[in-house]
Each structure stands twice: as C-alpha cells, then as structure tokens.
Structure 1
Amino acid sequence: MRIDPDTLDDVVRRLRRAQGQIGGVVQMIEDGRDCKDVVTQLAAAARALDRAGFKIVATGLAQCLREESAGSEDAAQDREQIERLFLTLA
C-alpha cells in the first residue's frame, strides 16, 4: 500500500501524540495520580491510536476501490468519507 505524504504526515502526527500520551500515563501511574485522571489520559491515547489506524485502513480501502473499479463512480469515493464511516464503528 502506498500512502500519500499528507496522509503519512497525519498518521505519524497522531502516533507521536499517542506516544506522548502513553508516556504521560506511565508517569501518572508512577506518581500515584488519581485513577480518573489516568483513565482519561489512557482513553485519549487509545482514540489517537484508533484514528491513526482507521486513517491507514481508509487509505488502503480507497486505493483498492480505485484500482479495482478504475473509471467508475465507486472509485471516486472520498477517502475522508470512508474514514468517517470506520470511525462510526469504533
């Protein structure tokens, strides 16, 4: 699968955000922070990972659709629309 540079930048940015959030969660646990705060940050990290994964999946699906149905209206589906559909399933 080929990922265009803009999508790749977005995915990397999301993964770096999740990486920072996970580091923050580890620090919060080590510092004995309140459980509610830890869970909130952990949920934010999970969402960032989900969004990065869905972006990759949506990009791959859009490429497959374009390659399999080149020239048809189905091939012209917008990648962001597919991504939104995946996010509704999460």
Structure 2
Amino acid sequence: MDRQDHPLPGAGAAPLHRAPDPLRGITPKVLTESLRAMERDGLLTRTAYDEIPPRVEYELTELGRSLIEPMNAGCEWSRKHLSELMRARDAWYASS
C-alpha cells in the first residue's frame, strides 16, 4: 500500500470512507465532531473536494504526527499491563 492508499491520517491524506475497522462502532456524527475538534486544535488538516459524491480527506499535521510516538508508547504500555488492569477492575467490581 503506498502513502496515498493508506487508510490512516499521517501516512498521507485519507478519505473518511476508508476508515479502519475499529472506527466502525463510532457514529458518523461523533466521528465528524472528533475530526473537526482535531482540526480546530491543529492536529490534522481537512481538505474538502467539490465533487459528486462529496469527498473529504484528513491528514495529520506536524503537531498531530508528534503524538504518534507517545500514543504508541501508551498502546505498548496497555498491551503489557492489560491483564493487570482487568484483574484490578474485576477485583474492584467484586468488592463493590
């Protein structure tokens, strides 16, 4: 897959309809609100094309790309500690 075909922002512009599977549980309204907030905060750019059907692409800005490494670290931490977190959660619910 080349950069233009990548479904995630930051690896090139990505059309919204090519969002990855984990986003399928999010309503279009919530996704749009989230993307607009990220645009407002300077994390991504939005390019709208005057086409039928309408087409919009999103791409991470340099500021947005600067979050990739810390987010990857958070994901790695959660992968390492998920079982501990789940045990703590189960224990908390059992004692409540």
Interval containing the TM-score (normalised by the shorter chain): under 0.3
Higher helix share: 1
Higher strand share: 2
TM-score, normalization by structure 2: 0.26
TM-score, normalization by structure 1: 0.27
Which structure has more RCO (C-alpha within 8 Å, separation ≥ 6)?
1
